[in-house]
Amino acid sequence: MLTLHIKEKEIFNEKTQEFEHVNACSICLEHSLVSISKWEAKWHKSFLNTEDKTNDELIDYIKCMTVSQNISLKIYSTLSIDEIKKINSYIGDTMSATTFSERKPEGAAPQKKDIVTSELIYYWLVAYQIPFECQRWHLNRLLTLIKICSIKNSNTKDDKMSKRAILANNKALNTARRQAYGTKG
């Protein structure tokens, strides 16, 4: 969770043409599956697959991330560049010591990328029997856990012989049987 301490500010309201006072406050933010679900429910598109978000979409995501109660909506329009950088840094943090090798197996076909939505991530929670309490984890940490579950549950190269290895093994077995029984076929 990220906590921002917002200083007292005065802003100019374009609509009323007056200056308004914004009180100092602390905001707790959570980049989680819950936050993404809220955002996707409003914008009707994938948060993770939408690269070019508008300023309104970004500010709205910060609102969806807010865990603190009774935060004035004026606060979001007064966020400084440094505060936005802190939020982006928090969102981009892996929150994990786990790393992955991105080596692809020989002859591997390119994989079709799914559009990742909150519902797909919830499906993964169910499929891998990950407790729903994890929906409040930092999203990158949750996605790392899901990737680990996927790797551990899949047939790896060590667990399954390649077609070439199977054919070579069968050929060797057939040759040995022909020699053992003195047959030609």
106 occurs within a structural domain: no
117 shares its domain with 184: no
Q: Is the same domain home to 91 and 172?
A: no
- Cα–Cα dist 141/89, whole Å: 14
Q: Is residue 103 part of a domain?
A: no
- Looking at the domain assignment, is residue 100 inside a domain? no
Per-residue pLDDT of the chain (185 residues; tens, 9 = 90+): 999 999 988 888 788 888 888 888 999 999 999 999 999 999 999 999 888 899 999 999 999 999 999 998 888 988 889 999 999 999 999 888 888 877 655 544 555 577 889 999 999 999 999 999 999 999 999 999 999 898 888 755 555 666 777 777 677 667 666 666 667 76
Pair (37, 14) in one structural domain: yes
Of 59, 21, 15, 57, the closest CA to residue 40 belongs to 57
Torsion of CA 114, 119, 121, 126, to 10 degrees: -120
Measured CA to CA, the distance from residue 88 to residue 165 in angstroms comes to 47
Q: pTM surpassing 0.85?
A: no
Q: Is residue 58 part of a domain?
A: yes
Are 7 and 29 contained in the same domain? yes
Whether residue 165 sits in one domain with residue 150: no
Q: Give a yes or no: residue 102 inside a domain.
A: no
Where does 18-160 show beta strands of DSSP type E? 18-22, 25-29
Using the CB atoms, write b or e for 89-119: b if 16+ within 10 Å.
Answer: ebbeeebeeeeeeeeeeeeeeeeeeeeebbe
Q: CA angle, 99 as apex, 95 and 102 as ends, to 5°?
A: 135
Range of the domain at 135: 1-95+113-154
Q: Which residues of 157-170 are buried (b: 16+ CB within 10 A; e: fewer)?
A: eeeeeeeeeeeeee
Amino acid identity at 133: E
150 and 181 part of one domain: no
